Structures are given as structure tokens and as C-alpha cells.
Structure 1
Amino acid sequence: MPAYTLREWDKLAHGEGEGQIAVHHADRLAGLAARSSFAGRGGSGVLEHGRHALRAGGVVGILAAGDASLEILPKIDAAPGETTDRQNAAIRKRLVHMLAVALDLKIDLGVITDLAWQRETLLEILVCIFCDKLTEALRKGMPRRYVGCDDDLPTLRGQLDVTRQFTQHAVNPSRLACHFDLLSDDMPLNRIMKAAVLHLSRLSRRSANQKRLRELAFVYSDIADIPVSALRWDQVVIDRTNRSWKELFAMARLFLNDRYQTTTGGRGEGTAMLFEMNALFEEYVGRLIVRALAGTELTVSLQGGRLSCLSVENSERGLFQTKPDILIRHGTRVVHVIDTKWKRISSRIDDPKQGVSQGDVYQMMAYAQLYGAPRLTLLYPHHTGLGAEDTVHGRYRITGQDTILETASIDVANGAGMLMRLRRLLVGEASAGQTPDQEPADNAFLQPVLSG
């Protein structure tokens, strides 16, 4: 099966040679991408299908149509001088780390070999991790709960349903209308797990993963097969009795119905698992900032605020509600507003405006007016063109105000000391060394509160 790999905003030329994609494969993959909810009005938000090449947009993940698949990786700087396979392996590892942080997952990246990171696609790696976790959880037993049952039995079990007994069995007292509780494993959580297993079995192409998914499907053979659209996510309650399933529940959301991901296709036309990098970068940075500022007098709100730019005259109803990505407060006062942007900016030497869009500046000026914060930051992913390390690249004063607008970057390719670097960026050198927890290495268990 032809498998292609492409990075954000790069092109994959049409053709039959090495590093090219056959036109009929490009047609099918582009058609599948155009049906994604990320495709936008023109249908080219995921893949732009040109006359001579496919060009990726700002969405990453896997597209599979017919006998071909396309993996789109984020444009994260990899070590120069390395082979393409090794660079792609490093990018896959960083992307899985970002997903782990954003979704509260513990993922031991060290159990996956370097060869697997190079040879396997992002999808197959995530499927392998899911199978490992689900198999381990099932060894401890499938979660069960009591459900109410009604049955007509020769002897009393539970309570007698008096109404049903004297209406349906008035002339047949040998049968008793019983209502009782039965411990069952056919419950919403298990139905979601089965749906995830069946869904992944249609996506995965790796024989080892297929084998494990068939084994897991057999374990869930007695669980009702519910369409993804009919799954009752709202009926799943994670508490002390099933806390060990929290991460698996989050991964099932990732595969089936999550903020970052969409699944498209139908009638054999193909399947896709896609992640919008803007949303993922925002969640990733926000969760790390929460941890980086723990132990200080500052508190962090993600997607908070929600003040409106306008209010209807003679009414309390607001219009054009704002949702800053990250609000930092000292007590009740907002002291810092951060908006994340998954796009590359240029150095000030190359462009005094650094490629910052006018719309983003207007947006931050609105935040300054509404929230009264003295400091605003547009935070971008770092790249080598900006210098050796992530930092604040530009400071500007909003005309007529004391408010400072910064442009800054954070290097998601470098997991070392991420919390300390974020803390230094936000509160300065003096308290940067007071990071509350020891940060793990890349092959340690990754938690949403840790970097790595």
C-alpha cells in the first residue's frame, strides 16, 4: 500500500518517481480531505489540490483512501543533518507529546523503539499505544455496573412489580413479575471502547495492530455495537471506581469525536484522523503555563474572559464575545493576556512587523481595552530562523496607552526544561528556577502538568 508523508505547508509533486504521488492517489486523497470539517468553504483547508502537486495546509494527521495513505506532520524544526526518516521520527514524537499534554494522557514514549518512530505513521503509533493501554486495563477486569431488569420468573427475584403482576399475570400466578438489578458490562463506557476498537480496525494498516485489534474486538463481542453518532458520552462518569479508565476514555474521544480531530468518509470512500494545529498548540501551551506558574501568586484561566466587544443599546445583551486563549490574573485583576498562533513569524531583521497580521494586532488591542491588562503576548512556535532559543522577540507600546504588546516564541521541538523556559518568559529570570516539579526526560511518563 503506497504511504506518503508530507509536512505542513509543503508540496508533494504528482508523478511516478520517488518522493512523488500518483495522480489517481492524489485525486482520491484530496477528495477525502475536502469533505473534512477543517476543509473550509473552498475545500482546500487540509489539502490544496493543484495541477502539479498536493500542498498541505495547517492540519495534520492521516488520510487513507483506497489503497493509499497520506501522513501530514507539523512543521516542527528537526535536527539538521539527520536523515528524513529520523527527522520525521522526531516530529512524530513531539506531536504525540503535545497530544499527551493536551488530553491528560500518560504515555511512555520510551517503550516505542527508534525504528518504530521512523517506520510507522502517527496513526499506527497511536493505535499501538491505545492497544497497550486497553489490554493492560482489561487484564484487571472490564468495568461493570448494575442495571435495572424486568423479567417474569417462577420464583421471586428482587422486588415484585405489583402493577404488572395483577395485569399481565392475574390468571397465571405461576409467573412472577420481577424487577431486579443485574451486574452488566454492557454499559456506555464499554460501548465507547468497542466503537474505538472497531473504528481503528478500519483505519490501521499494520498487521500487528490489526491482530491486536481483532483480539480486543473478541473481548468486546458481548457488548452492543453502537454507531459512533449514537454513543452516549454524557452517560460516562469517571469516578474512583473507574479512574484507571480515564486516559482510555480520553483516547477514545481522540479517535472518535474530539475537539482537535474529525473523521470523514463513507461508502468506502476513505477515512481520516486529523488535528487542527491551532487548537492543539493553544491547549498544549495553556496547560503547560498552568503548571509553570503553580506556586506563584498568579492564576491561569484557559478560554476564559468571554467579555463582549459591543453591547446593545438599552440592553444587557452583548455582541462579538471575546475568548482570549490564556488569561493570567493577580488576585482578581487580569495582568497578562496571551494568544497563541500556530504560524511562523520572521525575525525583526527580515521584517520589522515580523509577519504579524494586522488582524491579530487589532484583536489584542480589543483585549487590552476590555480586560485592562498591562501586558499582552502573541505567542508563536519557535524556529531556527528566530535564533538559538525561544524568547521575547519584540515589545511594542500601544499608542496612547501604557500597555505593552509582545511577540514571543516557544520551541516545541525542544522538550528540555519547558516549564522553566515558560516561567522565565512570563515572570522573568528571578523566579524561573523555582519550577515546582522536577521535569522528566522525553522517555518518561508524560503528564499534562509536565514538559518533556
Structure 2
Amino acid sequence: MTHLTVHEWGRVRVHNDGGAVPFGHFSRRQANALLAAARAHPLSGNEGTAILSDHHRHLTARQHVGVIAAPGCSLEILPKIDPDDAQDDAGIRRKLVRMLDVALGLNIGDGQAAAMAKQDHTLLEILIRLFAERLFAEAKRGLPRAYMAQQEDLPSLRGRLNVTRQFTHNAVRPDRLACKFDNLIADTPLLQIMKSCVLFLRRHAVAFETVRRLDELRFLLADVSDLSSNALPWKKVKIDRTNRRWETLYGLARLFLKREWQSTHADATARYGITLLFPMNKLFEAYITALMKRALAGTNLTVHAQGGFLNCLIEEGENGEESFQTKPDIRIKDGERTITVIDTKWKRISNNSGDKKRGVSQADVYQMMAYARLYRPNEVMLLYPHHAGLSPTPLDTGYGMLGGGERLRIASVDLLQMEGAIAGQLTNLFAFKGIIAEV
């Protein structure tokens, strides 16, 4: 099994010649298998190169992080949180798990994730182990059960008599009674999904302890039906007060089995492959949104993600149609009034003091000017990840828009800090401008 790690936009070498494959290389066969897995993913783009591109002698990772696995090989792609900081892969992996925890609401807990990341496991192995350990702990506390309607011919009455069946099928069997009753069983839609996830992950786990834990879970779930991935009853799962403690596990199962932007892709034709990918721009946005809600908790401000939907233009004439709809990443509102619009950008902002544009895209500025006109906030903001080349402290620079009173702020946030410190940075951005009264 060949496993390699690369960072966003990094290269991994491919050995195209015959003979033994050098250390740190994939063979051409392995590279093709990884490319096929990446191209089969919904995030691969029209040309299939949005995740991984082939340059004959090397593969180039794009702006997606996670794990691509194929028979005999796997590639882990880690984010470039701060290119100027010589942080080891374990630290970056630990930070990535924390970002996923906050952004997706998985309630993993930093301590458990940090302990596993220090063991130098891949991201996939860490998430599998987290799922297995949490599921085992909950299963030992007791499996959630539900009453299921059943029908059976019995020698004595149980529940209610099925009159129709009794006088048709059992007309010549007076020793049998057609019974209808409710039976308390563990073979529920929730546990069917849990078992399917256990069986799926068992094929991809590598660490001995993880494999052992998954085998123990197979034994504990022996009475639960085995269903194919296409037959899983997702719509029948109801999370309520009786099974609330299983909500995080259900979220992790969706992470592994469902096809969503932040989840895995498992091709039914590639039995032993798995692709667990997260677009960093989307992950950064969701992470900041969750921390912004934490930062502004207890104030009169509310945080709204991916909304607004105001149009830029309207066709002239009677009943003119509107077009060019907008969807800001984050809007901060005071009641019904939008006071700030924020767009998160997973890009490296320039540290060149002589560059007045600081590497900010002209298209991004035009976009923010449109938001300022449409939503009428006090200000609009472009928020970037901080890096050591900028300054010791996060960036916070203001600009006025010519021809009007609108204001644009360009700020950065240091992701190498813990979540509490990052929430404090976000709070400071607003407290400094007087939007909220105190930090």
C-alpha cells in the first residue's frame, strides 16, 4: 500500500518507467487509479481536473483537501494554512479536523481529535477511528430501539387478531392464529445506516486498533439488517429526544456515505475506493460562519450564511425581469437591517507594502461594490486567512468607495490559533469599529 501526502497545489511524483517504484512516487497504474477516482467525484468539474490534474511526471493537487484512495494506494491532500509557517503535517491535520468539527457541527472535541492526529494517522484514518470509538461507546450504553409492526402466525394470540388472514390463509389451520403486534427491535433505519457505515469503513481502515474496533461493532450490530448503499433509509431516520445522543454519529455517517460538497464519494463500481474531499473555500466559509455565530452570541446581532439573493439588474419596461442574483457568504444583521456583508476568500493576500491592491482580485472588489449598493450595509468586508508574511497581528485595513459613502474593509484571521482565540479575533473586528459594545 503506497500512501503519500501533499499540500494544496503541491505535486506528487509519478514513476512512468518500468522497474521498482522509487520511494515517494506513485506508479503510473496507481496514478491512473487515483485520477479515475478523482474524476468520478461530483466536485471534479466539467473536465475532471478540479481535484487532481495529470502532468505525466507528476500529479498536481488543486484546492480540495482530504483523501483519495484507490486499490493499493492513497493520496492525502492537506491545506496550506500558512505557507510561511513550517508546521508539520500532524499539526495541519489536527487543525483540519478541528475546522471540520466546527464547520460541520460534528462535536468531535479538540482533545480526542488532537490525540489521534499526534499518532501520525491520515485524515481518513482519524475520522474512521473517531466514528468507531464513538459508535462503540454509544452501542455499549445501549442500542436505540423502536416498535415495528409485525405479522406472524402463532399458536396463541399475541397483540391483535388479523381477521382477514385468519379466515383465508389459516381457515384450515385452527392451531394457528394470525397475529398483528408491535415488536421492540434494534433493526431500525438509524442502525441500518450505522452498520452499513461500519462495513464500508472496515474495508478502508489500516490501523490495527481501528480494525479491531470495527470488527467488535460488526458483532454488536449482528441483528441489524445489511443494506446496500443505494437502499439505505436516509429519509426514515428521525432524530428526536430518544436518540439525540446519536446525532453526531449520524452526521459522521452522512460524511462517509453521502455525496455532498463536504462529504465522501464512494463509486459503487470501485468497491475498494473512497474519496473524502472538502473544497477549502467552502470549508473556510463554513468555519468562519460558525465561529462568527459564536463570537456574536449574546449580542443583538445575527449571522446569516449564503442568503440575500438580491438581483443586480432589472429589465427596463413594464414587468421587467430581474437578473444577476447575488448570494453573499455571510451577512450580519441587526433585526431586519444588514449592517455588514462578508465574503471569505481562501487566498493568500499580498504582503508587499508597495502593492496598493495587496493582491486583492479586481473582480472581488467589483463584487463587494455590488453588495454595498444592494444590501446597504455600514460596510462590506473581504476576509482572508492570515499568514506570517503579513504582520505579527491580523490585517485590518479600510477603504472608502469613490462616488459614494460605502466602505470596504480587508481583514485577515489567524487560523493557527485555537477556536476561542479565533472567535476573539472576529469579535475584535466588530468591537474596534463600535458595531458591538464590548469584546
Amino acid of the residue matched to residue 33 of structure 1? A
- Are 1:8 and 2:8 counterparts? yes
Aligned position for 1:330 = 334
Aligned position for 1:445 = none
Aligned position for 2:282 = 279
- Are 1:356 and 2:357 counterparts? no
Q: Greater CA deviation, 110-119 or 193-202? A: 110-119
Q: CA deviation at 1:430?
A: 6.6
SS of 2:222's partner is coil
Q: CA deviation at 1:411?
A: 1.4
Aligned-partner Cα distance in 2 for 1:249–1:80: 36
1:55 to 46, 52, 60: 60
Q: CA deviation at 1:227?
A: 2.1
Q: CA deviation at 1:342?
A: 1.6
Amino acid of the residue matched to residue 382 of structure 1? H
- Summarize deviations over 1:56-93 as a string: whole Å, max 9, x none: 101111111121111100111278466xxxx1011011
Aligned position for 1:177 = 178
Aligned-partner Cα distance in 1 for 2:403–2:114: 56
- Are 1:389 and 2:390 counterparts? no
- Are 1:288 and 2:291 counterparts? yes
- Are 1:401 and 2:404 counterparts? yes
Aligned position for 2:153 = 152
CA contact (8 A) 2:431 2:438 kept: no
Aligned position for 2:235 = 234
SS of 1:386's partner is coil
What TM-score do the two structures reach when normalised by structure 1? Answer: 0.87
Question: Aligned ranges for residues 22-171 of structure 1 at < 5 Å?
Answer: 22-77=27-82, 80=85, 87-111=88-112, 117=118, 119-171=120-172
CA contact (8 A) 2:71 2:273 kept: yes
Aligned-partner Cα distance in 2 for 1:361–1:64: 39
Q: Greater CA deviation, 375-384 or 395-404? A: 395-404
Aligned position for 2:382 = 378
Aligned position for 1:186 = 187
Amino acid of the residue matched to residue 382 of structure 2? L
Q: Greater CA deviation, 18-27 or 208-217? A: 18-27
Q: Note closer, same or farther for the CA distance 1:234–1:427 as it changes in structure 2 (3 Å cut).
A: farther
Aligned-partner Cα distance in 1 for 2:284–2:52: 20
What TM-score do the two structures reach when normalised by structure 2? Answer: 0.90
Q: CA deviation at 1:28?
A: 2.2
Q: Note closer, same or farther for the CA distance 1:433–1:195 as it changes in structure 2 (3 Å cut).
A: farther
Q: Greater CA deviation, 172-181 or 108-117? A: 108-117
Amino acid of the residue matched to residue 286 of structure 1? T
Q: CA deviation at 1:10?
A: 1.2
Aligned-partner Cα distance in 1 for 2:361–2:114: 41
Amino acid of the residue matched to residue 253 of structure 1? R
Q: Greater CA deviation, 106-115 or 215-224? A: 106-115
CA contact (8 A) 2:264 2:274 kept: no
Aligned-partner Cα distance in 2 for 1:114–1:147: 41
Aligned position for 1:345 = 349
Aligned position for 1:261 = 263
SS of 1:254's partner is helix
Q: Greater CA deviation, 4-13 or 220-229? A: 220-229
Tell which has more relative contact order, 1 or 2 (C-alpha 8 A, sep 6+): 1
Question: Aligned ranges for residues 208-247 of structure 1 at < 5 Å?
Answer: 208-247=209-248
CA contact (8 A) 1:29 1:64 kept: yes
Aligned-partner Cα distance in 2 for 1:180–1:317: 58
Amino acid of the residue matched to residue 185 of structure 2? S
Aligned-partner Cα distance in 2 for 1:185–1:294: 39
SS of 2:384's partner is strand
Amino acid of the residue matched to residue 378 of structure 1? L
Count of aligned positions: 430
Q: Note closer, same or farther for the CA distance 1:336–1:207 as it changes in structure 2 (3 Å cut).
A: same
Q: CA deviation at 1:171?
A: 4.9
Q: CA deviation at 1:210?
A: 1.6
Q: CA deviation at 1:183?
A: 0.6
SS of 2:43's partner is coil
Aligned position for 1:450 = none
SS of 2:241's partner is coil
CA contact (8 A) 2:305 2:330 kept: yes
Amino acid of the residue matched to residue 280 of structure 2? M
Aligned-partner Cα distance in 1 for 2:74–2:330: 36
Amino acid of the residue matched to residue 291 of structure 2? L
Q: CA deviation at 1:124?
A: 0.9
Q: Note closer, same or farther for the CA distance 1:298–1:115 as it changes in structure 2 (3 Å cut).
A: closer
CA contact (8 A) 1:88 1:118 kept: no
Q: CA deviation at 1:160?
A: 2.2
CA contact (8 A) 1:32 1:269 kept: no
SS of 1:385's partner is coil
Q: Identity of paired residues, percent?
A: 44
Q: Greater CA deviation, 401-410 or 133-142? A: 401-410
SS of 1:203's partner is coil
Aligned-partner Cα distance in 1 for 2:211–2:111: 22
Unaligned runs of 5+ in 2: 16-20
Amino acid of the residue matched to residue 10 of structure 2? D
Aligned-partner Cα distance in 1 for 2:413–2:12: 28
Q: Greater CA deviation, 100-109 or 57-66? A: 100-109
CA contact (8 A) 1:30 1:48 kept: yes
Q: Note closer, same or farther for the CA distance 1:351–1:262 as it changes in structure 2 (3 Å cut).
A: farther
CA contact (8 A) 2:132 2:214 kept: yes
Aligned-partner Cα distance in 2 for 1:311–1:188: 48
Aligned position for 2:427 = 423
CA contact (8 A) 2:94 2:113 kept: no
Q: CA deviation at 1:24?
A: 3.2
Unaligned runs of 5+ in 1: 436-452
